[in-house]
Amino acid sequence: MKNLATTTILFFLAVAIFIGCSKDDPSPDGPEASEYTKKINKFIYEAMNDIYLWYDELPDIDYKYENDPKAYFTKLLYVDDKWSYITDDVDALEASFEGTEKTYGWSLAFYNLIEIQKIVAIVEYVYPETPASAAGFKRGDILMKIDGNDLSQSNYRELLYSDQADVTIGIPAESNIVPDTTIRLTSSVLTLNPVLTTNIVEHDGRKIGYIFYAQFISDFNNALDEAFASLISQGATDLVVDLRYNPGGTITAAQHLCSCIAPVYVVDNNSILVTYKWNDKYQDYFIDRQIMSQVEVYFDNQVPTKMGLNRVHFLTGSGTASASELSITGLKAYMNEVVTVGDTTYGKYTASITLKPEDYYNETYSEEIANWGLQPIVLRYANAAGVTDFKNGFAPDIPVDDDLFATFPLGDKNDPLFKAAIEDITGTPVVAMKSAPKVTFDYKIFDRGFSRFDANKREMLIEQIQWPE
């Protein structure tokens, strides 16, 4: 393998994509691929054979006869690998990991309303100063049409990645959803601060701090510092971190968050947050040379704000993945109570690296297949107590339904998940306001997301990797 730059980026993925079965058939099938396609396929094979966690399980397929690089990549995947990914637009993908992308600025959950045979989207949250917020959209709004057409399995994701759309709001009417106002939206290229909401709720003598965190982005660690400093200045005695829609992000952001929360002695001692296990080639290389920074991640004693807690509550859901799950399991090894409230998390315990042709080949060769990128699984992680392989996610300690048909603003003590956390902290009930009337028909969430890169956002970025010569 050629020397990769030490700033090559590693991601924790929780990509929910369909993975085809492996194919162990070396005989050519169909016409030989074009020279361009063969170059892409060569890059795919050599990268996978080098660093893929299951490199020794690669099927014997002659890439010269594979005419679809994405299909070829899928054929190489290990049977248990539901996360590895290939893209032909790696530049836009990397920008999205840094919080910059073209978007309307909302996160949506998509529902199948079984009895009335409709598909609708419901707004989970809206970033401030975005097209969606400027148009007045808010948490709990129902969307039922795009460009005059009912939402369907074939068009619903246009609400996330189209450049412009006429969006029709729906309102509950007895046992149905009926159309109301139509609003035109134009997407914008935005850089979004993932710390959306910070709040203090006083209840039964406790001052309970609340932070809504949408994605782990290390460039916004200063926003976390400001949030924690604000909570401390207001005398927060307890902490609730809302990760119910957080798909993951950078490990430095997860490290930062955990270091702001954990007991001070754990942080000051730079204790181990998680450990990594690579394939045998890379694991042996790092261990033999005692490059421990490549197999262990530590708490950061340089964070400017330390709450030094022994108890924290996390609000969770099926969208809670990757760096979110690492933060939860990493803290569990050191804190008396790490309480999860809501629904079962996604289940992500492996890692992948973003590889580009220039990481392996000279400039002339790599430019011919520029903007292709791979994210193969390269390691699994465990917390300091050895917890790993949580394929089914973490079940909540306190199960609570996140009912988007009857919402309250994020950080409001009447929000069912936050309310349950407050009651668990104080031991006394919160007298809740009446919520909006619930619909009477059956429904099921079948997807959720923020942008066209949703399948890739359930990842954790590890920076400053030291690669073998």
Euclidean distance between CA atoms 233 and 7, whole angstroms:
36
The pLDDT tens digits for 201-244 are 999 999 999 999 999 988 999 999 999 999 999 999 999 999 99
CB distance 344 to 392 below 8 Å: yes
**DSSP H or E stretch at residue 380:** strand 377-383
Domain spans in the chain, listed from the N-terminal domain onward: 18-81, 104-190, 195-433
Question: Which pair of structure tokens corresponds to residue 70?
Answer: 């994405």
CATH fold label, 195-433: 2-enoyl-CoA Hydratase; Chain A, domain 1 (3.90.226)
Helix (H) or strand (E) holding 230: helix 221-233
3-state DSSP call for residue 400? coil
- pLDDT mean across residues, the chain: 88
Q: What is the pLDDT of residues 281-311, one digit of tens each?
A: 999 999 999 999 899 999 999 999 999 999 9
Say how many CA atoms lie within 13 Å of 431 toward its Cβ: 1
Place of tokens 């009417």: 173
Q: What is the dihedral of CA 332, 333, 336, 338, to 10 degrees?
A: 0
Query: 201 near 422, Cβ under 8 Å?
Result: yes
Find which of 24-38, 84-98, 366-380 is predicted with most confidence, using mean pLDDT: 366-380
Pick from 329, 323, 324, 325: nearest CA to 352: 323
Q: What is the pTM of this model?
A: 0.87
Per CATH, 104-190 and 195-433 having the same topology is answered: no
457 falls in which pLDDT band (50, 70, 90)?
A: low
Tokens at residue 98, please?
A: 């840094």
In the chain, how long is the greatest CA-to-CA distance? 74
The answer to whether the CB of 172 falls within 8 A of the CB of 405 is yes
Decide which of 318 and 348 is more confident.
Answer: 318
Instruction: Please provide the CATH number assigned to the domain covering 104-190.
Output: 2.30.42.10
Alpha helices by DSSP H, 52-130: 69-76, 90-97
Phi, psi of 121 (to 5 degrees): -115, 145
Which range, 91-105, 309-323, 339-353, 377-391, has the best average confidence (pLDDT)? 309-323
- Give phi and psi for 378, each to the nearest 5: -125, -15
Whole-number pLDDT of residue 91 = 82
Residues 6 or more apart whose Cβ sits within 8 Å of residue 307 = 228, 231, 232, 236, 239, 260, 261
List, for residues 122-135, the tens digit of each pLDDT value. Answer: 999 999 999 999 99
First to last CA, the chain: 8
Residue type, 431: V
